[in-house]
Structure 1
Amino acid sequence: MHDSPTMAGCSQYAAPPRGNPHHARRFGLPTATALVMGNIIGGGIFLLPASVAPYGTVSLLAFVVLTVGAVALALVFGRLAERDPRTGGPYVYARAAFGDFAGFLSAWSYWTMTWVSNAALAVAAVGYVHVLAPGHESKGVDLAVALLALWLPALANLAGTRWVGAVQIVSTVLKFVPLLFVAVAGLFFFDPDNLGPFHSGGGSAVGGLSAAAAILLYSYVGVESASMSAGEVRDPERNVGRASVLGTVGAAVVYLVGTLSVFGTVAHRDLVNSTAPFSDAVNAMFGGSWGGTLIALAAVVSIVGALNGWILMSAQAPYAAARDGLFPAAFAAKRRGVPTFGVLVGTVLASLLTVVNYTSGSGGVFESLVLITTFSATVPYLLAAGAQVHFLLSGRRDEVRAGRFARDLVLALLGFGFSFWLVAGAGYAAVYQGTLFLFAGVLVYIVMASRRAAARPRAEAAAEAAPADGARPAAGTAV
């Protein structure tokens, strides 16, 4: 471990003292790793094999390429956390490198992405609950289930970091074990004849690789989870990087081996039209029709676990920004290590969006907001990776351990390239709508910046008055 230097060469960006006697950090390496893995693996894993099957087994190669980029980005977050292990991750790094406005855009983008995607996760959970409890479908019941999926993890967050960590570890194990079981067991039932062509769907293999990668890109959103909660991680200079890489690699193993097993147990012609590929794989391996129930249960656990982590993430970005005066001060309040106001606001907003989804009679608004998140997720990544490149090229090589400059620069460029690929993979509609929503936050920045500017003269006057009052010696005191 080494001392953290000043982030941007001036006091306002200096890292805080490492030790805080009033705040016990509760996330050890296993919990931080579970946070990363649990946030990466949500509900999408259960449909991924069918989503990429039309492109052929070239999609497995796309997984490998994406994993390299995701691991590089995870390593970048680890390096950045060594410099400044405060809660806020990408926001902290963007602000240190490029100033308040870039930091605000990172926090705003990340915040909106989290609560909108939390609503989407809650809605996705309803479909799997239907499999477990058929015959009770109605808008009212579905809405109640979706809201329950949001507020149960929110209550765990409000109880403090100890409960967040416990729920995250349990849920990660409960979803990781059945998925890994299907993945490993599938290798024993593997039939190469089920794989289908290496590339299908027309065009070149490179085109198929890019098309499959575009679908898979957002499977790795969540690699930043440990750095986002760095202030709650024990020994963050070491554990944030380790947790980021271990969690990303663990998720990649589940993704890659699981998809390979499904490809090898379900005939390609059936997999292309499958709505439950993992369930079909279980039924093909062991017979019967109980696979759907098993996978639906694993999916519900997976989504609730992901919501537990993402609800915490929805509070961390505004907490870090509020601490610097870029978000309303209420977001900076913490209780038991959790920004409770941010948890409540994020969950309420996700709940309102969920209500809109079930009562508006049209999914247009909901779908548009979810589309925005595909772009919003990329902004903090791009700025954080750019910040690392900036730190390395701006002459502050003393912030990098000897012999690591070239390696860190390569990793930062790979992370930047991966982030840029995420932006490109979002599609024109997502980039257009996401940009509009991103710049709508500029009004919030203007209001907060105006308040800070108005408060600065008063603070300076108070600072000038304090030494003058304190300098007057008391009677009888030797001077």
Structure 2
Amino acid sequence: MHVPGTVPPPAPAPAGDPGRHSRRFGLPVATALVMGNIIGGGIFLLPASVAPFGTVSLLAFGVLTVGAIALALVFGRLAARDPRTGGPYVYAREAFGDFAGFLAAWAYWITTWVSNAALAVAAVGYLDVLIPVNDHRWTACLAALVLQWLPALSNFAGTRYVGAVQVVSTVLKFAPLLLVAVGGLFFFDAGNLGPFNASGGGAIGAVSASAAILLFSYLGVESAAVSAGEVKDPRRTVGRATVIGTAGAALVYLLGTLSVFGTVAHDRLVHSSAPFSDAVNAMFGGSWGGWAVALAALVSMTGCLNGWTLLSAQTPYAAARDGLFPAAFARKRRGVPTVGVGVTVVLASLLTVYNYTSGSAKVFEILVLVTTFTATVPYLLATAAQLFHLLSGRAERVDRARLVRDAVVASVAAAFSLWLVAGAGYAAVYQGVLFLFAGVLVYAVMAGRRGHRARSATGAPPFPVDRAGV
């Protein structure tokens, strides 16, 4: 049993030689993993998703960027203190014990495979620009499933190929993003922006609601921390990759969203399924630009799915090594927890099928809001762990100024996480809580089995003995 507030000894590495298909990530690949997972499918569809709120969503983007960078700094500090694979799970368990660690792992795992389903749905919108697949929902569903399984096959091939795909897809995705983000400023028309607050409600509520959707575009800030065990010199590299990747993604996001708002008419953007393609078509005319952007967006989203599929298996892997997830999740082959990858892609596929068969026209938004809530659980636990270390004196301190700075950053990240829970909406919180409560039952089973094995190993009776004989 782990004692909160102490650093547990690393679990023994699983048997088996990862072989030549496994390779540790350096700073470029770790940064590409962060940027590739942050700049995935979200940015290519979210301008249309937040357009109904009006340009107030740009303000939400700015506030969100501050919170995301605060989270990046917190993860960097925590990874320097404990550079093991697992990210928020490791930090929460080390500070608060097994149950908090399990909740972080469970919620993050839910976030990853639900995000994969959402990314696949977003990718189908751009595939439709190239090949009409949205004419029938079953065709669209099949396309979304194919887009999920191809990255899973890359993961099964080993971390060497995961890293290669991530670097290539990250480089390729910047072409259309920079084209719109920079080029769109020369075609900017303020008349396309539409109303400041198109939702009709209060401005603060609109900012919170749009930020809840926009959070999806920043999921992945913890990527390097979650995969710290696969990173070279993680105490130094994870923090640098996290901050560089998040800041770079934020710059591209803000410029790209502003350019789309200024080049595509508001009433058209609200109903767009490929806003970046529409922006390029509006800039240059014709359809060739939109076709090229759609192709690049597909590459980007596939690369993002590639990275998220790896992350979806890393946290359960770390929890399984500590006995908090089924032992099968701790199996690795070629540096990849293959059971975790397999279970994740199956669950994401089932969720994709369910959402398409439900007939909802807002599949992407529904999935995004669920991940918004579940992502805040490990984020909040990680920032709480950082505050715990700072206030208890367990964190490494250089001087009082640095301590104050770290405390302020952690407080901003914690407040940011709580704000996002409020902005996710009742429906998302309701569905997310159901997912979390299901995890409590899983924890009860795993904890009970661990307790039984511990008693069997020590020869203790399964039930307490009443020494009075009653």
Letter matched to residue 400 of structure 1? R
Any idea what SS the aligned residue of 2:319 has?
helix
Any idea what SS the aligned residue of 1:284 has?
helix
Letter matched to residue 453 of structure 1? G
Deviation at 1:438, TM superposition (A): 0.4
1:3-22 alignment runs, 5 A limit: 8-10=4-6, 13-14=8-9
Aligned to 1:377: 375
Q: Deviations over 1:386-445 (max 9, x none)?
A: 111111111324x23334211111111111111111211111111122112201111111
Distance, in Å, in 2 between the alignment partners of 1:366 and 1:194 is 26
User: Given that residues 113 and 312 in structure 2 are in contact (C-alpha distance below 8 angstroms), is that contact kept between their aligned partners in structure 1?
Assistant: yes
Change in 2 beyond 3 A, CA 1:124/1:270: closer
Change in 2 beyond 3 A, CA 1:369/1:160: same
User: Given that residues 6 and 95 in structure 2 are in contact (C-alpha distance below 8 angstroms), is that contact kept between their aligned partners in structure 1?
Assistant: no
1:93-242 alignment runs, 5 A limit: 93-134=91-132, 137-138=135-136, 141-202=139-200, 205-242=203-240
1:34 to 32, 35, 58: 32
Distance, in Å, in 1 between the alignment partners of 2:134 and 2:408 is 54
Change in 2 beyond 3 A, CA 1:371/1:81: same
Letter matched to residue 262 of structure 1? V
Letter matched to residue 313 of structure 1? L
1:350 to 330, 348, 351: 348
Distance, in Å, in 2 between the alignment partners of 1:100 and 1:45 is 35
Aligned to 1:475: none
Q: Out of 286-295 and 150-159, give the one that drifted further.
A: 286-295
Letter matched to residue 115 of structure 2? S
Any idea what SS the aligned residue of 1:338 has?
coil
Gaps of 5+ in 1: 1-5, 463-479
Gaps of 5+ in 2: 461-470
Q: Deviations over 1:74-108 (max 9, x none)?
A: 11001000111100000001111111011111111
Aligned to 1:294: 292
Aligned to 1:327: 325
Distance, in Å, in 2 between the alignment partners of 1:356 and 1:212 is 25
Q: Deviations over 1:279-326 (max 9, x none)?
A: 222122111122331232122112211110111111011101001000
TM-score (norm 2): 0.88
Deviation at 1:447, TM superposition (A): 1.3
Distance, in Å, in 2 between the alignment partners of 1:178 and 1:365 is 25
1:24-103 alignment runs, 5 A limit: 26-103=24-101
Any idea what SS the aligned residue of 2:393 has?
coil
Distance, in Å, in 2 between the alignment partners of 1:134 and 1:49 is 22
Q: Deviations over 1:32-54 (max 9, x none)?
A: 11111121223232233333344
User: Given that residues 124 and 133 in structure 2 are in contact (C-alpha distance below 8 angstroms), is that contact kept between their aligned partners in structure 1?
Assistant: no
Q: Out of 318-327 and 293-302, give the one that drifted further.
A: 293-302
Change in 2 beyond 3 A, CA 1:365/1:192: closer
Deviation at 1:167, TM superposition (A): 0.6
Change in 2 beyond 3 A, CA 1:270/1:366: closer
User: Given that residues 7 and 83 in structure 1 are in contact (C-alpha distance below 8 angstroms), is that contact kept between their aligned partners in structure 2?
Assistant: no
Identity %: 71
- Residue 402 of structure 2 is aligned to residue 402 of structure 1: no
Change in 2 beyond 3 A, CA 1:190/1:316: same
Change in 2 beyond 3 A, CA 1:453/1:156: same
TM-score (norm 1): 0.86
Q: Out of 22-31 and 431-440, give the one that drifted further.
A: 22-31
Distance, in Å, in 1 between the alignment partners of 2:456 and 2:190 is 74
User: Given that residues 310 and 336 in structure 2 are in contact (C-alpha distance below 8 angstroms), is that contact kept between their aligned partners in structure 1?
Assistant: yes
Aligned Cα root-mean-square deviation (Å) = 3.0
Aligned to 2:464: none
Aligned to 2:246: 248
Aligned to 1:449: 447
Any idea what SS the aligned residue of 2:332 has?
coil
User: Given that residues 7 and 14 in structure 1 are in contact (C-alpha distance below 8 angstroms), is that contact kept between their aligned partners in structure 2?
Assistant: no
Aligned length: 453
Distance, in Å, in 1 between the alignment partners of 2:279 and 2:32 is 26
Aligned to 1:307: 305
Q: Out of 271-280 and 387-396, give the one that drifted further.
A: 271-280
Q: Deviations over 1:239-287 (max 9, x none)?
A: 1111111111121112110112122323445444544332222122111
Letter matched to residue 79 of structure 1? R
